[in-house]
Amino acid sequence: MSGVDTGSLTSVRSVVVERPKLALVGALGGLLALDLLFRLVGFRLFVGPVGLVGGELAFERLLTLLWDGLVVGLGIGLAGIGLSMTYSILRFANFAHGDYITSGAFAGWAVAWLLAGFSTGNLSGNVGYLALIGGASEGPSSSELGINVLSTPLAIVAGLVIAGVATVALALVLDRIVYRPMRDADGISLLIASIGVALALRYLIVFVFGATNRGLTAGGERLILAGVGGKLALVDKRSTLIVAQNDGPPADAFYLELPVLDFGGYSAEILSVTSVEVTLVVTSLLLMYGLHLLLQRTKLGTAMRATADNQDLARVTGIPTERVVRATWMVGGGLAGASGFLLALERGTLSFNLGWLLLLLIFAAVILGGIGSIYGAIVGGVLIGLTNSVSLVWIPSSLSTAAAFAIMIFVLLLKPDGLFGGVRTA
């Protein structure tokens, strides 16, 4: 071991030589990070007439992108946990998972609407239409009901709970009818059967609830972190912010100055979050923590982890026990339903396609994180969410989803185990 610092150089060289793919990915990542840095600083590297690296990027915009990515990412991560578990314990790719998410969303929101209808006195004669969540032209509209996190918290909580419970029931019933008779079938047959489940479920929802993309909430609950004349402040509306930045804090609006240092004359909107986004983030984290406790502290959790981790053992011992299977569907289904409810809440709209459109992104998250790894699903979800939003720095929004898919494809080709695959589940 020579005293000279050739150690790090040789290790870099050995990585490049022995694992060229990793080196390539690392180089690309480094380049993007560098570009991001340059853009933040406002620096642009020119080679002749061609601008190579860097450009313009406001720090505030990056923050917004990161927040957006985190929000969507946590939602996807939460949804992905169930998919990852199904994949590793039941050993097939559940293409109906997206529709479990949608089902949960519809069940939960029907309850939320009914409760809101009850509390606003809109219930009588409207029960059916409320349950259809505005799918029919009759019945109250989303703005009439005025559902939102801060205004009708009970409806939201009830909806969330029902979303989870209903999806658990659905998953168990479907397992009994569809998958239990096929317990010893191979992964591809189960995959194809799950496509059948997906189709049947999705179009039953359309049959009952209608195909429209309906509004759910009466939006507008937001919180804006901004700079106002050098001070940091929290504001409730953009209009309030503009008034504050020009004339001074308005009296009748929500305006909270934060006891932080002065930033000269800094005056810009830093980050805007909505109550639904915060709800999604907080609830996801809580649910994930709950899952963590379940997996680490209970016997059932240990059994699930054992089956998920030990692929070889599972292959040798054959079919997982019915108890573990039930638990998988319950946990996975419950989380899927909850995530569906939360994702619909965050968007403010709900359509029968909700889960299906997200399914590939969820697959991307699960694969990136490593199939079978719960934490991998969460990390993968956040990474995919961040990719989806931060990629907007470089590519137009119409291609950002395509970019996320491309990343998934690369992961599958280069490291199919993902980040945490082959590592223990939790």
Partner 1 sequence: MSAADALADRFERFEETPRWLLDVGLIAATMGGIYLLFTIFTFVGPSQGTFGAVVSNLQTITFWTALYAMMVLALNLHWGYTGLFNIGVAGFMAVGVYTFAALTVPATGSPPGLGLPLWVGIIGGMLAAALVGAVTALPALRLRADYLAIVTVALSEIIRLTLLSTKFESFTLFANLDVRVGGFEILPDIALGTGAGRGMNIPVNPSIPVKGIFYTNPSNPAAGQRTAIGEAVLGAFGAAGVRETVVVSLAYTLLLILVVALFYWLLVRVGNSPFGRVLKAIREDELVANSLGKDTRMFKMKVFMLGCALMGLGGILWETQRGFTDPTSTTFRPIQTFYIFVALIIGGAGSNTGSVLGGALFASLLFQGPVFVSRTISHLLNLGDTPGSFVAAVGPFVDLEVTPFLAYAAGNIEELRFVLLGVVLIYLMQNRPDGLLGHRKEVAASVDLIDRDGNRPRDAAATDGGEADE
Q: Which stretch binds partner 1 (CB under 8 A): 142-150, 253-261, 279-287, 403-411?
A: 403-411
Cα separations in angstroms, 214 against 280, 348, 397: 20, 8, 23
Q: How far is the CB of 88 from partner 1 (least distance, A)?
A: 12
Q: Does 155 bind partner 1 (CB under 8 A)?
A: no
Among 406, 415, 422, 424, binds partner 1 (CB under 8 A): 406
Residue among 211 and 293 whose Cβ is closer to partner 1: 211
* Bridge partner list, 272: 224
The interaxial angle of helices 20-41 and 59-85, nearest 10 deg, is 150
Over the Cα atoms of the chain, what is R_g?
A: 24
Q: How far is the CB of 132 from partner 1 (least distance, A)?
A: 6
Q: Does 423 bind partner 1 (CB under 8 A)?
A: no
Residue among 157 and 206 whose Cβ is closer to partner 1: 206
The strand ranges marked E within 122-172 are: none
**Dist. CA 1–CA 326, nearest whole Å:** 55
Q: Does 409 bind partner 1 (CB under 8 A)?
A: yes
Q: Does 392 bind partner 1 (CB under 8 A)?
A: no
Q: How far is the CB of 267 from partner 1 (least distance, A)?
A: 33
Residue among 50 and 316 whose Cβ is closer to partner 1: 50
Among 7, 187, 220, 290, binds partner 1 (CB under 8 A): 187
Please state the separation of Cα 408 from the chain's center in Å. Answer: 16
Instruction: Return the structure tokens found at 319.
Output: 């079919």
**Dist. CA 160–CA 283, nearest whole Å:** 10
Q: How far is the CB of 210 from partner 1 (least distance, A)?
A: 7
Among 34, 37, 154, 188, binds partner 1 (CB under 8 A): 188
Total residues belonging to the chain:
426
Find the binding residues for partner 1 in span 108-147 (CB under 8 A).
128-129, 131-132, 135-138
Residue among 251 and 413 whose Cβ is closer to partner 1: 413
Show the DSSP H helices in 310-373 as ranges: 311-317, 322-347, 354-369
Find the binding residues for partner 1 in span 192-211 (CB under 8 A).
192-193, 195-204, 206-211
Residue among 136 and 268 whose Cβ is closer to partner 1: 136
Residue among 94 and 284 whose Cβ is closer to partner 1: 94
Q: Which of 35, 69, 75 is nearest to 55 (CA)?
A: 35
Cβ(319)–Cβ(184) below 8 Å: yes
What character string, x for contact with partner 1 (CB under 8 A) and - otherwise, covers 210-249? xx--------------------------------------
Among 123, 169, 185, 270, binds partner 1 (CB under 8 A): 185
Phi, psi of 151 (to 5 degrees): -85, -35
Q: Which of 163, 46, 183, 30 is nearest to 104 (CA)?
A: 163
Angle ∠(288,292,293) on CA atoms, nearest 5: 120
Cα separations in angstroms, 169 against 29, 79, 182, 191, 334: 43, 17, 19, 21, 9
Q: How far is the CB of 282 from partner 1 (least distance, A)?
A: 31
CA atoms within 13 Å, Cβ hemisphere of 68: 15
**Dist. CA 109–CA 152, nearest whole Å:** 13
**Dist. CA 37–CA 33, nearest whole Å:** 6
Helix or strand run (H / E) with residue 232:
strand 231-235
Q: Does 22 bind partner 1 (CB under 8 A)?
A: no
Q: Does 178 bind partner 1 (CB under 8 A)?
A: yes
Q: Which stretch binds partner 1 (CB under 8 A): 217-225, 321-329, 332-340, 406-414?
A: 406-414
Cβ(380)–Cβ(364) below 8 Å: yes
Q: How far is the CB of 199 from partner 1 (least distance, A)?
A: 4
Instruction: Return the structure tokens found at 138.
Output: 């009759």
Find the binding residues for partner 1 in span 66-105 (CB under 8 A).
92-93
Q: Does 416 bind partner 1 (CB under 8 A)?
A: yes
Q: Please work out the total of residues on this chain that contact partner 1, with binding judged by CB under 8 A.
A: 53
List residues near partner 1 by CB under 8 A: 92-93, 128-129, 131-132, 135-138, 178, 181-182, 185, 187-193, 195-204, 206-211, 360, 363-364, 367, 396, 398-399, 401-402, 405-406, 408-409, 412-413, 416
